[in-house]
Amino acid sequence: MQTVSENKCFGGIQGVYSHASDACGCDMTFGLFLPEEAQDGPVPVLWYLSGLTCTHENAMVKAGAQAWAAEYGVALVFPDTSPRGEGVANDEAYDLGQGAGFYVNATEKPWAPHFRMWDYVAEELPRIVTANFAVDEARQGITGHSMGGHGALTMAMRLPGRFRSVSAFAPIAHPTQSDWGRKQLSAYLGADEGAWAQHDATLLMRRLGFDGPVLIDQGSKDQFLDLLKPEALAQAMAERRQNATFRMQPGYDHSYFFVSSFIRDHVAFHAEALYR
């Protein structure tokens, strides 16, 4: 692992690190904020998964999460959204290929050799972070925005016991029934829609639910509402009687202005579960 940068931030350290990834078969980069309390021992950790076209840097720079993570004594991990580099498959479209890993393990050509983002975020990167930094693997939460909200919800439900809390900003909530999903899942996983169901938050909510609290924020003026399908997830949570809060925020769109407006609420929500 190589240190790309480390900066003092709200009493803690905002670092950026790179490493050779076995899961993705290329070098990967991630951001990690450690609050001041990490100097005295392991602190709880909140994973933030980003959306389409993003790198590790977008949320790290734009969300404003570090101030609140420092206040609550929580570490933040900002993974990248896909493998990158020479020899890694890509597509001219912004919503497929590099920057659009969709947090799945691809089985189809040309994506299969590198696009194993499920294994990377669920298994490999947690091992690296817990082995090298003062974070407590027993106290984890996960959140994300858009494609990252999709990833956060699916990982929380499919990895029972891993996360104490899950939240999302404008998640891609029903990808098997959306053009933001059917295109990518068919490209990465093939034509068998049974394989897609493992990566659909609405279907997983109906089948599995989450053993903990859920918080969803969605902007009412989101320009991608028809692609996100939040109403499907809201209905599934209601039908399951999931311990969840779904908030439609009047006037907000899909941008990081929306995320930064409510990031304090999400960090506080996770901190309550992580320190309970």
Q: List, for residues 40-53, the tens digit of each pLDDT value.
A: 999 999 999 999 99
Residues in contact with 223: Cβ distance below 8 Å, sequence separation at least 6, in sequence order: 253, 254
Question: How large a percentage of the chain has pLDDT more than 90?
Answer: 100
pLDDT value, residue 54: 98
Q: What is the mean pLDDT of the chain?
A: 98
Q: What is the enclosing helix (H) or strand (E) of 103? A: none
Q: Check if 254 is active-site.
A: yes
pLDDT value, residue 171: 98
Please say whether the beta carbons of 117 and 80 come within 8 A: no
Which residue, 38, 12, 212, is CA-closest to 133?
38
pLDDT value, residue 232: 98
pLDDT tens per residue across span 119-134:
999 999 999 999 999 9
What integer is the mean pLDDT of 244-248? 98
Please say whether the beta carbons of 133 and 75 come within 8 A: yes
pLDDT value, residue 220: 98
What integer is the mean pLDDT of 178-182? 97
Q: Check if 199 is active-site.
A: no
pLDDT value, residue 81: 98
pLDDT value, residue 276: 87
User: Active-site residue among 21, 146, 165, 178?
Assistant: 146
Please say whether the beta carbons of 163 and 155 come within 8 A: yes
Q: Check if 146 is active-site.
A: yes
Top pLDDT among 215 and 276 is at: 215
User: Active-site residue among 174, 199, 254, 266?
Assistant: 254
pLDDT over threshold 90, residue 105: yes
pLDDT value, residue 183: 97
- pLDDT band of residue 89 (cuts 50, 70, 90) is very high
Structural domains of the chain ordered from first start? 2-271 (3.40.50.1820)
- pLDDT band of residue 223 (cuts 50, 70, 90) is very high
What integer is the mean pLDDT of 149-155? 98
What integer is the mean pLDDT of 148-176? 98
pLDDT tens per residue across span 55-87:
999 999 999 999 999 999 999 999 999 999 999
User: Active-site residue among 80, 200, 217, 222?
Assistant: 222
Alpha-carbon separation of residue 49 from 205, 235, 238 (angstroms): 19, 24, 25
Q: What is the enclosing helix (H) or strand (E) of 179? A: helix 179-189
